[in-house]
Amino acid sequence: MSLIATDQLRIIIGLGQTGISCARYLARKGSAFILVDTRDTPPNLDLIHSEFPGVEVHCGELDSDLLCRGSEILLSPGVAKDHPAIQAAVAAGVKLSGDIDLFCQAVTAPIVAITGSNAKSTVTTLVGQMALDAGIDTGIGGNLGTPVLDMLSAGEQQLYVLELSSFQLETVNDLRATAATVLNVSPDHLDRYSNSLPLYYQAKHRVFKGAANVIVNRDDALTSPLVSTGVKVSSFGLGRPDLHQFGLIEKEGELFLAQGLKPLLAVSELKIQGQHNIANALASLALGAAVDIPLESMLQTLKNFAGLKHRCQWVDEKAGVAFFNDSKGTNVGATVAAINGLAATLSCGNKIVLIAGGVGKGADFSDLNEPMLQAGRALVLIGKDGGLIDQAVGCLEGQYATSMEDAVSLAASLAQPGDIVLLSPACASFDMFSGFPARGDAFVEAVEAL
């Protein structure tokens, strides 16, 4: 690999998807870099040596002296920035950055930046699809799908729609998005943030750095940033909207998505179900409007969009009971949103049987008690921290299952015709499964086997 003469030496920490995308990007640019991983033997080490011959690779415990050799550290999201060796390098003047900053320095096209505790993937996919359906050459990626720097390998596109996690945002210095939003904030990843919601909140709000248009959720005060003069602020919410804002209005007894007083689309025409998905549709409209996606095209996309797999996905109906797969509900806020959203679709007297549990990540499960008190028929518990959920949800006595097949069978036996069985675990999946997709697939298979 031939290098451009420069005093810039980047040190890439983390050799997963993001780190390798950084290395490929810098190699294409002819920039000097070193590869570092905290694991002794990263799973793709042979690939790295063959793809980047002659590049230094260091594995194992981070060495502050090595990191201080760099002019800039490019930190992968999976590595916490408070590691002592990283902090020593920062104190010595080494810049801390990540792939998102490299991407933003490279592109001139508008960027839609989306974060939040829940619904990031749904809204990112939906806004991206709105743009594609309108004939706009659009890159969709970030925390969802393609790493951002890999999207540049084929040249710049007209628009980028990015899902950004709090971990990615920790190293963002100047995002400069054309439109940026924090969809919602609820406790998540508190094991990473020293059990501090303010630290998590601060990481999320880095999405607004340099934004031209800020989109806030009127139903969640924690999504509203302090913004400087000249930044345009718009909003979405499930209430009646002010002029030019997005919300809901009633017309002739039917509920409509609306902009100001103008009805846009009947809620009944949406394929995605639940109040949380109505909020997702409104957020997508607000973001799309901020980057001039034609309104009529966005509404047509909303009519066609069926939602994402493992995100409140309708699976089947058995003996009058509907089964929903929300395996992506890996935190309490997501599960509360799923319960409340689906409860609004139930007929009088029908309830939800919730399957929950897994690795709790230090979460407080008490927020599940009120929605289950209002809408819960039964609680089926799985995984490592199922007992913590049982303790927190005092309104129902938890029923324990040893496998997903057992959980689905038990939930079906507890449900009544017209009820919903909802897998929304409020936990990570790694105690029982390789990830939330495998957990969701196991649920679907168990439902199909009933």
Q: Which residues are catalytic?
A: 120, 143, 189
Treating both helix axes as pointing N-terminal to C-terminal, what angle do 120-133 and 295-304 enclose, rounded to 10 degrees?
120
What is d(CA 37, CA 49) in angstroms, rounded to the nearest whole number?
A: 13
CA dihedral 62, 64, 69, 72 (to 10 degrees): 70
Residues 6+ apart with CB under 8 A from 83: 62
How open is the CA angle 230-231-236, to the nearest 5 degrees? 140
**Contact present, 134 and 284 (Cβ < 8 Å):** no
What is d(CA 98, CA 107) in angstroms, rounded to the nearest whole number?
A: 15
Reported in sequence order, the residue ranges of 195-269 that DSSP labels E, i.e. its strands, are 213-217, 232-236, 246-251, 254-259, 262-266
Token pair of 228 as six digits: 């400087």
Q: Could you tell me whether strands 254-259 and 246-251 are parallel, antiparallel, or unpaired per DSSP bridges?
A: antiparallel
**What is the tally of helices (H) and strands (E) in the chain?**
15, 20
> What is the full DSSP assignment across 155-193?
---SEEEEE--HHHHTT-S----SEEEE-------TTTT
Q: Which residues pair with 233 in a beta bridge?
A: 214
**Contact present, 137 and 159 (Cβ < 8 Å):** yes
- DSSP-based helix, strand, coil % in the chain, nearest 5: 35, 20, 40
